[in-house]
Chain A
C-alpha cells in the first residue's frame, strides 16, 4: 500500500527510548472499506424497501428479487459495513490503548483482504440464490470455512497484540473487543456445523427444533456480540476522546460488561416464543431478556453521563451529536427488546414489521450513528486534516436522524396494525380480515414512508463518503510523508 509511509505514526515507548510505530495504514484500509460498504449495503436496503412498496421494481429479474437481495442487504450492512467499522476502530484504538504495534502486519493484511474477499463472494452467491437458509448465516459452507479461517487469523493477531502490550491495566474497551473476537468465533463455528453435499450445498448437523434453537442462539448473539459489545468498546474509546471528558464510572463499566456478556448469551429463545420449543426454554429466553435491560442501560448511562460538562459542545459538534443519538437509540432499543420478549407482547409483535422497526432502531440508530461519529472523528485524526465540508456532517446528522424516525415510526405503526388485524375477530368469532392479502395491501403507505426514511439515511451516508473522499484526496490536501509523534496527540 502506498499509504504505508504516510499512514505510520510513531510513539516513544516510555522507559525504553525505542520508538513504537503504530500501523495506521491498516486502519485506513479498513476505514475505506467501511465507508464503501456502508453505501453499498444501504443502497441494497433502499432497493428492497422499494420492492416492498412497489414490487415491479424487481423488473422480473430473479437475482434482484427481494428474497435474494434481503440476505445481501443484511450481510452487507452487518458484516461488511459494521464489521469493517469494528475492525477500523479496533486496529486504531487497541494499538494506542496497549501502546504497541499490531502483533503481525502480515496477519493484519490477510485479515483485511480475506474479509473483503468473503464479502465479494457473498455479493456474488446470494443473488445467485445460493443460501443455507439460516438468517444472518445464509452464506454457503465454503464461505463459512473462509470466515472461520480469517476470524481465527484476526483472533491470533488480536490476542498476540494484547500479549505484547506495554501497559498492565486493560482498558474497558479492550474487554468489549475480546468478547467480540471470542464469541463471534464460537457462534459462527457452532451454528454453521454442517455436512457438505456439494460445493454449494450442505446439511446442518442439527435437526428440526435443535437447529432452530442453535440458529437463534447464534442470531440473537450476533446482534449481541457483533453489533453491541464491539460498538460499546468503540463508544468507550471514541466518545471520551471526542468529548475530552473522563469516563463517568469505571465501576459501572466493569459491572455492566460482565452482566451483559453473561446474560446476553441465554436470551436467544425469545425468538422462538410460541413455537415447539419447550415452555421452560421459552421462559428462560424471556426472563434473561428482561434481566438484560439494566446491563444494557449501564452502557447508555456511562455514555450519556460521560458527556456531563460537555453538553454545550454537543449542540455544535456533529461528532458528539452522532454519538449522543447513537447512545440514546441504544437505550431505546434495549428497552424495546426486553418488552418484545415478553410472551404476551411477542404474541402481538412477532412476524410483524414491528420487528423490522426494532432491529433498525438498533442498527440505524445505535450501530450506524456510533459508526458515523467514530468515522468523522477518525478521518480528521488519521489524515490530520479538517473535513472538506464541515457543514455536510451536520446535514448528514439531520438526514440520518429524521430518516431513522420515519423508518421506526412507520414500522411500529405497520407492525401494530397488522398484528392487531391478524388476530381481530368479528361478532361471529371469525377472523375480521380472513384474507392475509387485504392486510398486506393496507401496509403499503407505511412501506413508502419507510422507503423515504431509508433513502434519507442513504443520502446522508453518500454525503459522508463524498466528504471523506474530498477530505482525503481533494485539492489542497496536504500529504505528510513524515511520521507524526503520537505523544503530541
Chain B
C-alpha cells in the first residue's frame, strides 16, 4: 500500500462535503480479482471440457467406489427367518426408532397403515412382510429399510411386527410363518407388488390399494 497518494479529488462540494482520495487499487486486491477470474474460466473448462464431469457421473463414480468398498450385502432372505423372543425384544427397539413416525407407537397407523389388523396390502405371510420391510414400497412412501438397517435388524423388526399382529388378530404365528404359496386363501399377486408372489389372506380381492385408510 505504499502507492497511497492520499491526494484529494476535490469533489467534496458535490458530495455533501465528503472528500475522496484517488488512491490506487491495492495490488493484492487486483491480484485476487484476476485470480478468481482465471480460476473460474479454468474450472469451467476442466469440469466440462477436459474432465467431462457431471452430476450424474459423480454419482456413478461414488456408487462404483462404494460397490468396491462394500460388496453387495447379503440380501435379507426368509431362509433363516425365525421368530425368537430375543428378536422380538430387539425388534421393539428397532420399531420405536424407525417405524413409529408413520405406523404409530400403537401400530394402528398414522400415515402408514395399521399393522395390527388383518389386512395386509403387500402380503401377510412372514416372508412377504419381511420382503416389504426390506425392499419398501416407494410408491406408498415405505422406505427400503434393507438399505438402511443391517439385515438382522430387518429380521428383528419383522419378528416384532408379526408377533404384535398375531397378538392383536389372534392369527397364529405358525399360520403367518407358513410359506406364501401354501397359505390358505392366497389371493392373486398384484402385478406391481414387491411383496413376492402370493397375497396373504387379507389381500384377497384387495387390488385397489387401500392406502391412507388407516
Q: Point out the residue from A93, A247, A284, A431 that lies within 8 Å of B16, measured CB to CB.
A: A93
CB of A197, distance to nearest CB on chain B (Å): 26
| Given contact pairs A252-B25, A291-B36, A430 touches B18 in the complex (Cβ within 8 A) | no
Say how far A464's CB is from chain B's closest CB, in angstroms. Answer: 25
Task: Flag whether A315 is at the interface (Cβ < 8 A).
Answer: no
Complex Cα–Cα for A242 and B11 (A): 18
Complex Cα–Cα for A295 and B33 (A): 7
- The residue that B48 contacts in the complex, of A274, A280, A294, with Cβ under 8 A, is A280
Q: Does B84 contact A (CB under 8 A)?
A: no
Contacting residue for B150 out of A280, A294, A430, CB 8 A: A430
Tell me, in angstroms, the Cα distance from A435 to B8 when the chains sit together. Answer: 64
Contact B47 A283 (CB under 8 A): yes
Contact, CB under 8 Å: B26 / A301 = yes
Interface centre among B6, B25, B54 (most CB of A within 10 A): B25
Say yes or no: A291 contacts B98, CB within 8 Å. no
Q: Chain A nearest CB: distance from B11 CB in Å? A: 6
| Contact (Cβ within 8 A) B150 A259 | no
Q: How long is the Cα–Cα vector from A127 to B147 in the complex, in angstroms?
A: 40
How many residue pairs bridge A and B at CB < 8 Å? 122
Interchain CB contact under 8 A, B29 and A250: no
Q: Are A237 and B25 in contact (CB under 8 A)?
A: no
Nearest CB on B from A91, distance (A) = 14
Question: Contact: B66 with A429, CB < 8 Å?
Answer: yes
Instruction: Given A246-B20, A283-B48, check contact A169 B39 (CB 8 Å).
Output: no
In the complex, the answer to whether A293 meets B36 with C-beta atoms within 8 Å is: yes
Are A428 and B150 in contact, CB atoms less than 8 angstroms apart? yes
B208 proximal to A (CB < 8 A): no
Q: Does A287 contact B (CB under 8 A)?
A: yes
Cβ distance A4 to chain B, nearest Cβ, rounded Å: 22
Contact of B15 among A169, A249, A293, A297 (CB under 8 A): A169
- A171 / chain B contacts, CB cutoff of 8 Å: 11, 14-16, 18
User: Binary interface profile of B, 101-143, with partner A (CB < 8 Å = 1, else 0)?
Assistant: 1000000000000000000000000000000000000000000
Interchain CB contact under 8 A, B15 and A97 = yes
Tell yes or no: A389 within 8 A of B by CB: no
CB–CB A283/B19 < 8 A:
no
A contact residues, total (Cβ < 8 Å): 49
Taking a contact as CB atoms closer than 8 A, the residue among B14, B19, B73, B101 that contacts A428 in the complex is: B73
Residue of B nearest to A247 (CB): B20
Measured between beta carbons, the chain B residues less than 8 angstroms from A251 are 22-25
A241 to B15, CA, bound (A): 11
Which residues of B sit under 8 angstroms from A301, Cβ to Cβ? 26, 29
CA distance A247 to B101 in the complex (A): 59
Nearest-neighbor residue (CB-CB) of A94 within chain B: B16
Residues of B within 8 A of A293 (CB): 32, 36
Knowing A246-B8, A291-B40, say if A279 contacts B33 (CB, 8 Å): no
Q: Is the CB of B9 within 8 A of A250?
A: yes
Contact A430 B20 (CB under 8 A): no
| Chain A CB within 8 A of B149 CB | yes
A437 touches B101 (CB 8 A): yes
Instruction: Tell whether A279 pairs with B15 under 8 Å between CB atoms, given A249-B21, A252-B25, A434-B149.
Output: no
Q: How far is the CA of A481 from the CA of B199 in the complex (A)?
A: 90
Chain A residues within 8 Å of B21, by CB: 246-250
Shortest C-beta distance, A302 to chain B (Å), equals 9
**Complex interface residues of chain B between 143 and 163 (CB less than 8 A to chain A):** 147-150
Q: Is the CB of A290 within 8 A of B55?
A: no
Type the 1/0 row for A219-250, where 1 means its CB is closer than 8 Å to any CB of B: 00000000000000000110011000111111
Contact A282 B14 (CB under 8 A): no
The answer to whether A279 and B54 touch (CB under 8 A), given A250-B9, A251-B22, A437-B101, is yes
Query: Is A240 in contact with B22, judged by CB distance below 8 angstroms?
Result: no
CA of A420 to CA of B6 in the docked complex: distance in angstroms? 49
B36–A290 touching, CB < 8 Å: yes
Residues of B within 8 A of A124 (CB): none
| Residues of A contacting B40 in the complex (Cβ-Cβ under 8 angstroms) | 287-288, 290-291
Find out whether the CB atom of B16 lies under 8 angstroms from the CB atom of A97. yes
Chain B residues with Cβ below 8 Å from A435 are 97-98
B44 at the interface (CB under 8 A from A): yes
In the complex, B37 has a CB within 8 A of chain A: yes
Cβ A294 vs Cβ B33 within 8 A: yes
**B33-71 contact mask (Cβ, 8 Å, vs A): 1 or 0:** 100110111011001100001110000000000100110
- How far apart sit A441 and B73, CA to CA, in the bound complex (Å)? 30
Which residues of A pack against B, CB within 8 Å? 93, 96-97, 167-169, 171, 236-237, 240-241, 245-253, 255, 259, 274, 279-280, 282-284, 286-288, 290-291, 293-295, 297-298, 301, 305, 428-431, 434-435, 437-438, 489
Chain B residues engaging chain A, CB cutoff 8 angstroms: 6, 8-9, 11, 13-26, 29, 32-33, 36-37, 39-41, 43-44, 47-48, 53-55, 66, 69-70, 73, 97-98, 101, 147-150
> What would be 25 A-B contacts, judged by CB atoms less than 8 Å apart?
A96-B16, A169-B14, A169-B15, A171-B11, A171-B16, A245-B19, A246-B8, A246-B19, A249-B24, A249-B25, A250-B22, A252-B23, A252-B25, A282-B55, A283-B47, A283-B48, A284-B44, A287-B40, A287-B43, A291-B33, A291-B40, A293-B36, A297-B32, A298-B29, A429-B69
List the 6 closest A-B pairs by CB distance, nearest first. A429-B70, A246-B19, A287-B40, A294-B33, A167-B14, A171-B15
